Structure 1
Amino acid sequence: MAEFKKITEQASLHDHLEQQSTGALLRGINQEDKKVAEAVGKVVPQLEKLVDALAVRFRKGGRLFYIGAGTSGRLGILDASEIPPTFGMPHDRVIGLIAGGDGAIRKAVEFAEDNTIQAWKDLMEFNINSNDTVVGIAASGTTPYVLGGVKDAKENGLLTAGITNNPGSPLATSVDIPIEIEVGPEFVTGSTRMKSGTSQKLALNMISTALMIKIGRVKGNKMVDMQLSNNKLVDRGTRYLVEALDMDYASAERALKKYGSVREAISQLKR
């Protein structure tokens, strides 16, 4: 195995940033960002392996847990929080945990990420079991909170995966499915909230969306189980029914409100 090097800590390819114009700074950031999607594309086989394994476990009642610290933890929580409104899933099927607890979502908790045993304690509060999957997220691949969590999860028979931006990192070598997204040095040296964070967001979008499609939460290309929690979503659902059933808007809206979801409305009206 090649020697592990922290690419995320290597010097930026851009220098004298404080001397650059605003336009030059923005173009430089954009130039680096263009590399991210290509880097994520290279790990599609690993993402595919994870999604297929997740789908099997989900059908058995398993859950998906994201664990991370700082930006990585917040991105996991963001992805998890969007599953119920988008796909109508219960809040307890995809769960994001961050080092330092919910307070760390808004404000950093000092040294919380350095605790190697806290992640497993956090997971145990959910009565975690062998049908569940733990995905550790850490740009560096060395975050103790994440490493401890995936280690304990794996030892207890759970499927583990790791999303990192440093190939060959401790996280990558300690999980069942390593997802190593090499985006290169950051525009501001070591600022992994930038390209690394963007790559993690893309990967999480792919994992959760593909999983929800695989378990039947999308019909055609429509979110038929989305929560009707505001007027925009009611309008979107109504338009889905108009298209699917060739009905007028007013009738579709009444049906949607009566049956509570696009899926149920289509099921009832096709009888």
Structure 2
Amino acid sequence: MSFPPPRAVTSAEETVGSLVAPEGGPAVRGSYDTVAESYAELVGQGMEAEALWERAVLGVVAASVAAGAVVGDLGCGTGRVAGYLRGLGVSVVGVDLSPGMLRVAARDHAHVAFAAGDMTRLPLATGVLGGALAWYSTVHSSDEQVDAMAAEFARVLAPGGVLCVAFKVGPDGSAPASWLLHAYGRPVRLPVYRRPVDELCAILGRHGLTETARVVRQPEDREATPQGCVLFRRAARVAGSAS
């Protein structure tokens, strides 16, 4: 399945954002297809209502990538974060598993390139990104899946590239902490993982991604656990890689 190309994107974004059919993750993909429109209605298109620290972290990401480099919003959903980064002057490509979420993203953020794909098999060339973002997009994934994602993050990042991972903090990420069965007014079936910061950093560190900063925020409103955000930088050379 493919989607109409977004308008007014740079040539670099068009190259990075070539569309492919999504694979894998049928339960997660189906759940997000179901809630795509209601998610967009309830959450909105922008990041203005989000916590100040989250917008500050995104500002750090935008300021950390080289001029002209493309940032990948991996697990972009309806494109809220990708659109926010684009507004900060960053070239962005969003990748997501859900065709429904991508339709909303392309409609609401026409100046961003979007591609369909699985984060464990990204439809991106090696070393093509100057920065990458996994903004709460690993929360439905097991440690084994996150390890596969980390290998892909390292592969698609250029040497010295920046990675930002936002996630739910908890005492043990080896099994789902809970299951989300209803969200945004629709039935869904989504495992929710909450990981210790050190555990996440260990998984990413196995792939040549070095932690440079971390932020942990205590729960607000209806949140059940602290929220974490870690910044990484890709090594100049990843062990076992020819790049």
Q: Normalised by the size of structure 1, how large is the TM-score? A: 0.35
Higher relative contact order (CA 8 A, sep 6+): 1
TM-score by length of 2: 0.38
Which protein is bigger by CA-based radius of gyration? 1
